[in-house]
Amino acid sequence: MTDTASKDTDATRPETAKRGVFASLELDMRLLGMIGAFILIALVFNSLTGGRFLTPRNVFNLTIQTVSVAIMATGMVFVIVTRHIDLSVGSLLATTSAVMAMLQTEWLLQVFGLPLGHPALAWLAIAGGLIVGTAIGAFNGWLIGYLTIPAFIVTLGGLLIWRNVAWYTTNGQTIGPLDETFQMFGGISGTLGTTWSWVFAVVAVGAALYAQWSARRTKQGHGFPVKPLWAEGAVGALIVAAILGFIWTLTSYEVPQRVLERDFEARGEVLPEGYTAAYGLPISVLLLILVALVMTIVARRTRLGRYIFATGGNPDAAELSGINTRLLTVKIFAIMGFLCALSAVVASARLSFHSNDIGTLDELRVIAAAVIGGTALSGGIGTIYGAILGALIMQSLQSGMAMVGVDAPFQNIVVGAVLILAVLIDIIYRKRTGAS
Burial (CB count <10 Å: 0-12, 13-18, 19+), residue 117: exposed
Pairwise CA distance, residues 404 & 261, whole Å? 32
Q: Closest approach of Cβ 420 to another protein, in Å? A: 24
Q: Closest approach of Cβ 149 to another protein, in Å? A: 21
- CB crowding 165-182: b at 16 or more within 10 Å, else e: bbeebbeeeebeebbebb
Measured from the CB atom, the residue of 148 and 276 that comes closer to another protein is 148
Measured from the CB atom, the residue of 39 and 435 that comes closer to another protein is 435
Q: Closest approach of Cβ 254 to another protein, in Å? A: 42
Q: Closest approach of Cβ 325 to another protein, in Å? A: 11
Q: Closest approach of Cβ 16 to another protein, in Å? A: 13
Measured from the CB atom, the residue of 117 and 221 that comes closer to another protein is 221
Measured from the CB atom, the residue of 249 and 325 that comes closer to another protein is 325
Q: Closest approach of Cβ 30 to another protein, in Å? A: 14
Q: What is the DSSP string of 354-416?
A: B-TTTTTTHHHHHHHHHHHTT--TTSS---HHHHHHHHHHHHHHHHHHHHHT--HHHHHHHHH
User: Radius of gyration of the chain from Cα atoms?
Assistant: 24
Q: Under a CB-based contact definition with an 8 Å cutoff, are residues 289 and 201 in contact?
A: no
Measured from the CB atom, the residue of 174 and 220 that comes closer to another protein is 220
Measured from the CB atom, the residue of 14 and 115 that comes closer to another protein is 14
Measured from the CB atom, the residue of 262 and 303 that comes closer to another protein is 303
Q: Determine the 3-state secondary structure of 251 from DSSP.
A: helix
Q: Under a CB-based contact definition with an 8 Å cutoff, are residues 206 and 200 in contact?
A: no
Q: Closest approach of Cβ 131 to another protein, in Å? A: 24
Count each helix (H run) and each strand (E run) in the chain, helices first. 19, 0
Q: Let me know how long the chain is.
A: 436
Other Cβ atoms within 10 Å of 29 Cβ, number: 11
Residues of this chain that bind another protein (CB under 8 A)? 1, 3, 7, 10-11, 218-219, 221-224, 297, 301-303, 306-307, 309-314, 316-324, 380-381, 434-436
